Structure 1
Amino acid sequence: MNHLKRIEQRDAARDIQAELLEGLQEMAADMPAASHRITQTDVALARQKAQMSQASFAKTLGVSVRTLESWEQGARRPSGAARSLIKLFIKHPEFVREALS
């Protein structure tokens, strides 16, 4: 989950209010907004390695698709139990998928 920790550290240093005001000012001035690269989270990586859709991965983890989406986007963090399963999916996706089927 080192990647998630880096995302949290990056976001902790952000001034969201200033970014929003800057974006509004750019829109008002008809300037193109700055683009931000969205990086893949460990949750998305685990789902891809398991070769599962969001719906089936969410069901396997026992969460809603909406919750899974927020994890993949880095907006929220999975619980401890979910983090453990996600780590297993990254290391041994076939084993976990078969064991939980």
Structure 2
Amino acid sequence: MDKELFEDLVQSLKEAGDIARGVSEPSRRFEMASTDVKATRESIGLSQGEFARLMRVSVKTLQNWEQHRRSPTGPAAALLKIVATSPELALRSLHG
């Protein structure tokens, strides 16, 4: 490995450690507004079971999202954003 690249990586790890310990602030922070899962589901007129199948999650997971005990992350959060923004397109795409 190139010595300069290695030194950059070591410096990045030190900075990450400082941020994790609260010694330094991150240079930038991203916050995503969460989608109201229940409102999204109700707006397209699906039951919890139907919507859970559409999202490929269990009904229990969907209930946890709707009751704010858990929050969708990663691909599920992205898919929910798409469903909330363009439900017709999402439904047409997901029903194949």
Tell me the TM-score range normalised by the shorter chain.
Answer: 0.5 to 0.7
1:55 aligns with 2:49: yes
Identity %: 41
2:86 pairs, out of 81, 87, 92, with: 92
2:75 pairs, out of 76, 81, 84, with: 81
Q: Higher relative contact order by CA 8 Å / sep ≥ 6: 1 or 2?
A: 1
Provide structure 2 residue ranges, at least 5 long, that are not aligned to the other structure.
1-31
The number of residue pairs the alignment matches comes to 64
Note the alpha carbon deviations across 1:12-67, whole angstroms, 9 max, x for none.
xxxxxxxxxxxxxxxxxxxxxxxxxxxxx611121112221100110111110011
Letter in 2 for 1:65: V
User: In structure 1, what is the Cα distance between the partners aligned to 2:39 and 2:71?
Assistant: 14
1:72 aligns with 2:62: no
CA contact (8 A) 1:49 1:89 kept: no
Q: Which runs of 4+ in 1 moved over 2 A?
A: none
Provide structure 1 residue ranges, at least 5 long, that are not aligned to the other structure.
5-40
Larger gyration radius, structure 1 or structure 2 = 2
**Offset of residue 79 of structure 1:** 2.1
User: In structure 2, what is the Cα distance between the partners aligned to 1:81 and 1:91?
Assistant: 15
